[in-house]
A and B are shown apart, each in its own frame.
Chain A
């Protein structure tokens, strides 16, 4: 790989790392965003579990455990992964970021 390719690889890594860091930073600065993301995560977890198991008591028990670990205990990590995988990757925004980095003047 050429020097420019390696330089671009590093740039892409840095950009993805910044994208991963953004949600926890926003959550730390704006408290309403923190609350909103926690509510979104809770709804997403409950919907995912209910979709797989149906509406019963087991769904509520498993959702509670997952919500405690993912939303209450490790909210910044979960928010970061959620935004990265379910929002940016699902809507292919990462490809746009990578393409944009190739157009940067050096």
Chain B
């Protein structure tokens, strides 16, 4: 069983190193594309590509690897997903889905309207009580 665990760990590291290589290739492609789009002169572009690739991919990869991964994820729209995630999970208060559905449903009768007004009034009273320094009701 121990050798199986070790094999799994080795395979995991192999996957990580392979995907690191893919990330490095994509980083180099991005650098080449960026330089070719911004520099007209071919020899200067070649020198810049070699210099930036050496600096980013081979010298400071621990730093730029994380930044490049973050840049890629943001480009793909991960920030929108995070906003949705924290907004929706943060919005989920203690109200039950039945209460939310009740408030969103159209008014069906005068009794329903009276109950809604009563609930709203109660909520206002509680809110006013919380805002007052002493927390006392009049």
Interface residues of A (CB under 8 A from B): 1-9, 12, 49, 52-53, 62, 65-66, 69-70, 73-74, 77, 85-86, 89-90, 92, 94-95, 98-99, 101-106
Contacts and interface: CB of A to CB of B under 8 A. Distances in A.
Contact of A69 (B18, B29, B77, B93): B18
A53 B89 contact: no
A73 B21 CA distance: 13
A69 B22 CA distance: 8
Nearest to A90: B77
Contacts of A90: 76-77
A8 to B, nearest CB: 5
A52 B84 contact: no
A96 B53 CA distance: 40
A94 B25 CA distance: 29
Interface of B: 15, 18-19, 21-22, 25, 29-30, 32-33, 76-78, 80-81, 84-85, 88-94, 96-98
Contact of A65 (B25, B30, B93): B25
Given A65-B25, A89-B76, A8 B97 contact: no
B18 A98 contact: no
A66 B94 CA distance: 49
A14 to B, nearest CB: 13
Contacts of B32: 52-53
Given A69-B18, A89-B77, 14 more contacts: A2-B94, A4-B93, A4-B94, A8-B92, A9-B89, A52-B29, A53-B29, A62-B29, A74-B15, A77-B15, A86-B76, A89-B76, A94-B84, A104-B97
A5 B89 contact: yes
Contacts of B91: 5, 102
Contact of A1 (B25, B33, B78, B89): B89
A102 B25 CA distance: 40
Contacts of A74: 15, 18-19
A95 B84 contact: yes
B76 A2 contact: no
Contacts of B19: 74
Contact of B92 (A5, A94, A95): A5
Given A2-B93, A52-B29, A52-B30, A98 B88 contact: yes
